[in-house]
Amino acid sequence: MFWQRPVDQALSRLKENVHAPLRVVLWDGREVALSDDPLVTVTLKSMDAASALAQRSLLGLAEAYVEGRADVEGSVLEAIKGVEKITTSGKRRLYDAENRIGGHTKRVDRDSVRHHYDVSNEFYALWLDPRMVYSCAYFQREDDSLGQAQLQKLDHVCTKLRLAPGERFLDIGCGWGALVIRAAERYGVDATGITLSENQHRLANERIRAAGLEGRCRVVLEDYRDHSGGGAYDKIASVGMFEHVGLENLPVYFGKVRGLLREGGVFMNHGITTSDILSRSVGMGAGEFIDRYVFPNGELPHLHLVVREMSDQQLEIHDVECLRPHYAKTLALWSERFEARMGEAIAAANERTARIWRLYLAGCAHAFDQRWVSVYQILATKQVEPGRAPLPLTRDWMYRVP
């Protein structure tokens, strides 16, 4: 057949140029093993799926899997590693040539957040820890459980902020409320969380009521740009949220934080960054897959851009901590838990959604491991008047057990 020649040529080139523990099987029974001991089998069920292989298109292969035109037997993480080798054998760019800048209006951001977070609370509960903390955990030991590491992360944030009883604390992008609940319950603050996700808003407030914290803890459904209260907060945190803000809106975001903080107030931004100095998204189709299927309009800045924009808003930076190894480990655990409950994930959403998230979690674990992306906690204070910030001279206090 006329279409067999390019596919045969692609298989031949792969055999010669790529070594990976992967077996590729075509719909007509032909196959090629890319190592002597393949651990994973990728079955391409149609000609267009095979064409994606011939074109070394990571996006095309991912879409073929999502739409059921390809299957993976074995570890999806090993499959992703193998497909990456196939893709990069064609000398594809690690980062896209240009930034994809989107218009981050309130409506666009609301729709993007709800697309990502409102799959269903039951879906997320299958693979997150019991507190449903959907951000990088903090491992003090290699064998920490996911739940233990997430509690350690909450305490790490609260300790860095030096939360004290009676203070007013704001969590921008609060998820299902784990941080505000911990801050109110363990550290005695008056805690407010904001989210754009209706599912998160509903469950967070149910958990606040169940904990008996209604008087000093609440979660509101609101865009961060609409939150009022100039200088009203002693401490502010934002964990895993500014990825939704957009590169062009970073001045607006950090300016809003500055406006909400009192003089001498403390702010922590915990967020994912790109390793590309120009703040471009990961290439090879990976960034496009995430934007199209998982995280619409997400944009990752490089660390230097974050520091510049925070400094431009007169937020004085005191500490920067890289947690990239922690997020690689967190994502690997999420991926393992998702794999173990794939059938339940399909029931909680549908097969297509479950396939998307199976790829997404394993692919992100690989991306952090490869240093394509990273995550940083940046601690800053609002300093308008001259003089010292209200922090100790050394950073010993950050690592004391609360």
Query: Is 364 a residue of the active site?
Result: yes
Per-residue pLDDT, 254: 98
Q: Which helix (H) or strand (E) holds 328?
A: helix 324-340
Burial 131-145 (b: 16+ CB within 10 A, else e): bbbbbbbbbeeeebe
Closest CA to 101 of 306, 250, 226: 250
Per-residue pLDDT, 19: 84
Which positions ≥6 away from 318 have C-beta within 8 Å?
A: 379, 380, 381, 389, 391
Closest CA to 295 of 36, 117, 88: 117
State CA 151 to chain mean position distance.
Answer: 18
Residue 160 CA to residue 266 CA, distance in Å, equals: 9
Per-residue pLDDT, 30: 83
Determine which one of 136, 174, 217, 364 is catalytic.
364
Per-residue pLDDT, 108: 60
Per-residue pLDDT, 89: 62
Per-residue pLDDT, 293: 82
**Ramachandran class of 267: left when φ > 0, alpha when ψ lies in -120 to 50, beta otherwise:** beta
Residue 236 CA to residue 221 CA, distance in Å, equals: 17
SS3 for 140-198, per residue? CCCCCCHHHHHHHHHHHHHHHHCCCCCCEEEEECCCCCHHHHHHHHHHCCEEEEEECCH
Per-residue pLDDT, 2: 39
Closest CA to 194 of 225, 173, 168: 173
Domains of the chain (ranges; CATH) run 4-88 (3.30.1050.10), 106-399 (3.40.50.150)
**Mean pLDDT, 10 residues at a time, over the chain (402 residues)?**
60 79 86 88 86 77 91 92 77 62 64 65 96 97 97 98 98 97 98 95 98 97 93 96 92 97 97 92 79 83 97 96 98 97 95 93 94 97 89 89 54
Closest CA to 377 of 395, 400, 357: 395
Per-residue pLDDT, 32: 85
Token code pair at residue 129: 């820890």
- 149 touches 137 (CB < 8 A): yes
pLDDT tens-place string over residues 180-210: 999 999 999 999 999 999 999 999 999 999 9
Per-residue pLDDT, 3: 47
Token code pair at residue 315: 């937020």
pTM, whole model, 2 decimals?
0.92
- Count Cβ atoms below 10 Å from residue 1 Cβ, excluding itself: 7
Per-residue pLDDT, 40: 93
Residue 95 CA to residue 277 CA, distance in Å, equals: 10
CA atoms lying within 13 Å on the CB side of residue 218: 7
226, 261, 284 from 167: Cα distances, Å: 22, 12, 47
**CA angle, 189 as apex, 184 and 194 as ends, to 5°?**
70
Q: Which helix (H) or strand (E) holds 63?
A: helix 58-66
Residue 160 CA to residue 380 CA, distance in Å, equals: 10
Per-residue pLDDT, 1: 41
Burial 273-308 (b: 16+ CB within 10 A, else e): bbbbeebbbbbbbbbbbbbebbbbbbbbbbbebbbe
- DSSP SS3 for 120: coil
Q: Which amino acid is at 80?
A: I
